[in-house]
């Protein structure tokens, strides 16, 4: 366990002494299962107090006290394991510029067909369920806009957890194909859009603790599309 020793000068109830210490935790493992390893989000701390050698007998009264305040700052986890719960997140609604047609100054074009793939990569050791609520493109010059019509919209997108390789991880991917047979993606491109609007809801561990407390992430784990 992590141990420190901090000398504190003598004080009185009316004039207490203080001592401060700051210690790096680089490379240390923090176990949040409590002293019996059967709890969650519980950090066990033990404080031992002893008088300095050679000062003789020390008399304590009900007016004396010892207060220890411990705080943690700037913690960046290199690796974490446990049950991460079922937090929910919202992405957007947001509008971003779309520059794929920035070289096309004017005009229009017709496409015979088109195909696109949406690839979601999960580097986190937890299942993720996404609901894409909005995916719309617009041409600010013409004032036209069009929403994507595809099974992705509104329906659940289930992305499996990454695989822990004990020192690294293997990502999992979800791929959705959009073509003329299942979407209006070609119509979206023919609009010559210069911005895209989107909104989505994310749910971590939609099925609960199916890993039996073995969710994980590494420092460079991420969920990206």
* pLDDT of 112: 81
Asked if residue 130 belongs to a domain, the reply is: yes
Asked if residue 142 belongs to a domain, the reply is: yes
Expressed as residue numbers, the domain containing 173 is: 85-208
Asked if residue 47 belongs to a domain, the reply is: no
Asked if residue 191 belongs to a domain, the reply is: yes
| CB atoms closer than 10 angstroms to residue 162 | 24
DSSP string, the chain: ------------SSS----------TT-----BTTTT--SSB--------PPTTS------TT----------S---SEEEE-----EEEEEEEEEE--TTTT--S-----S---EEEEEEE-SBS-EEEEEEEEEEEETTTTEEEE--STTBTSEEEEPPPEE-SSSEE-EEEEEEE-TTT--HHHHHHT--SEEEEEEEEEESTT-STTSS-EEEETT--EE-
Q: What percent of the chain has pLDDT over 90?
A: 62
* pLDDT of 104: 64
* 115-137 tens-digit pLDDT: 999 999 999 999 999 999 999 99
Asked if residue 40 belongs to a domain, the reply is: no
* 57-90 tens-digit pLDDT: 888 889 989 898 989 899 899 999 999 999 999 9
Tally of domains within the chain? 1
Asked if residue 124 belongs to a domain, the reply is: yes
pLDDT > 70? residue 105: no
Asked if residue 107 belongs to a domain, the reply is: yes
Query: How much is the pTM?
Result: 0.77
Asked if residue 203 belongs to a domain, the reply is: yes
* 3-59 tens-digit pLDDT: 899 999 888 899 999 999 999 998 888 888 888 888 888 888 888 888 888 787 888
* pLDDT of 107: 58
């Amino acid at each position: 366990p992590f141990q420190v020793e901090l000398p504190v000068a003598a004080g009185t109830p009316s004039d207490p002494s203080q001592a401060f210490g700051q210690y790096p935790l680089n490379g240390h493992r923090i176990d949040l299962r409590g002293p019996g390893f059967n709890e969650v989000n519980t950090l066990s701390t033990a404080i031992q107090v002893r008088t300095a050698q050679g000062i003789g007998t020390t008399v304590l009264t009900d007016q004396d006290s010892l207060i220890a305040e411990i705080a943690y700052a700037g913690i960046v986890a290199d690796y974490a394991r446990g049950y991460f719960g079922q937090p929910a997140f919202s992405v957007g609604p947001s509008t971003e510029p779309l520059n794929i047609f920035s070289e096309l100054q004017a005009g229009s074009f017709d496409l015979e067909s088109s195909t696109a793939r949406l690839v979601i990569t999960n580097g986190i050791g937890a299942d993720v369920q996404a609901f894409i609520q909005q995916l719309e493109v617009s041409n600010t010059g013409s004032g036209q806009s069009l929403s994507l019509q595809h099974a992705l919209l509104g329906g659940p997108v289930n992305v499996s957890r990454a695989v822990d390789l004990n020192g690294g991880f293997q990502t999992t991917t979800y791929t959705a194909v959009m073509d003329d047979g299942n979407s209006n993606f070609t119509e979206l491109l023919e609009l010559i859009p210069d911005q895209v609007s989107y909104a989505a809801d994310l749910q971590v561990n939609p099925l609960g603790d199916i890993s039996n407390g073995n969710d994980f992430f590494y420092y460079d784990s991420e969920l990206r599309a």
